[in-house]
Amino acid sequence: MKTNDVILQTTTKVVFFIIFLFSIHIFFAGHYTPGGGFVGGLLTTGALLLLLLAFDLKTVRKALPFNFLIVVALGLLIALLTSAWPMLFNEPFLTHAFGDYDLPFLGESSLHTATLFDLGVYLVVVGAGMTMIQTIGGDT
């Protein structure tokens, strides 16, 4: 029996972006307010999970045509590189640097290498979560 879930799908199209943006917000705000790479990653996974529930695996794979295992590897690589980078300057492993910079378009911004490390965490969480869901879900 083919069910008609147009309401679900339409709502999802809207809600997905709200959740996704919220997760990005939480990711960036993590250094000052509750949040960070881990929760941000999980929320993104949650948003993608919603897509999976409203549509199906094939549609989502078509919309996001990449292998999430590569996302995991990318995340690990970013985290490892940001950690190892200071060693080139005779600093211990995982020394973070930060400072205020005047950037074009954005104006005065404070930048922190911890965000790059957090980005690694974020990518690993999204990739690992999606890999598990897709493999387990796809095995039917």
Contact residues for other proteins (CB under 8 A)? Answer: 26, 30-39, 42-43, 45-46, 49, 68-69, 72-73, 75-76, 79-80, 83, 93-94, 96, 98, 110, 112, 114, 117-118, 120-121, 124-125, 127-129, 131-133, 135-137, 139-140
Structure tokens at 21: 């943006």
CB of 118 to other proteins, least distance (A): 5
CA distance 107 to 89: 28
Q: Take residue 138 and report the two structure tokens written for it.
A: 């796809």
Question: Of the two residues 61 and 96, which places its CB atom closer to other proteins in the complex?
Answer: 96
> Could you tell me the end-to-end alpha-carbon distance of the chain, in angstroms, rounded to an integer?
18
Nearer to other proteins, 4 or 110 (CB): 110
Nearer to other proteins, 17 or 138 (CB): 138
Residues contacting residue 61 through CB under 8 Å, at least 6 positions apart: 134
